[in-house]
Amino acid sequence: MVRYLVSTVLVTAKKEYLLEAMGDTAIELMAGIKRVFDPAGILNPGKICN
């Protein structure tokens, strides 16, 4: 349970940092690439690219 909570906090912090560091355009591009290879959204749902 603790490991899950730590993982969730780290992913949230990473999301915020990536948005700030990469910008909206890069994040949208990554999300588009993820949709091409994972249209059902079953690989790491809710992680970096929602």
- What is the full DSSP assignment across 11-43? HHHHHHHHHHHH-HHHHHHHHHHHHHH-TT--S
Element (H, E) at 49: none
Distance of CA 30 to the CA centre of its chain: 9
Look at residue 22 in the predicted model and tell me its pLDDT.
Answer: 85
Q: What's the pLDDT score for residue 16?
A: 77
In whole angstroms, what is the distance from residue 8 CA to residue 36 CA? 25
Whether 2 shows a pLDDT value over 60: the answer reads no
In this predicted structure, the answer to whether residue 39 has a pLDDT above a threshold of 90 is yes
pLDDT tens track for 15-31 = 778 888 888 898 899 89
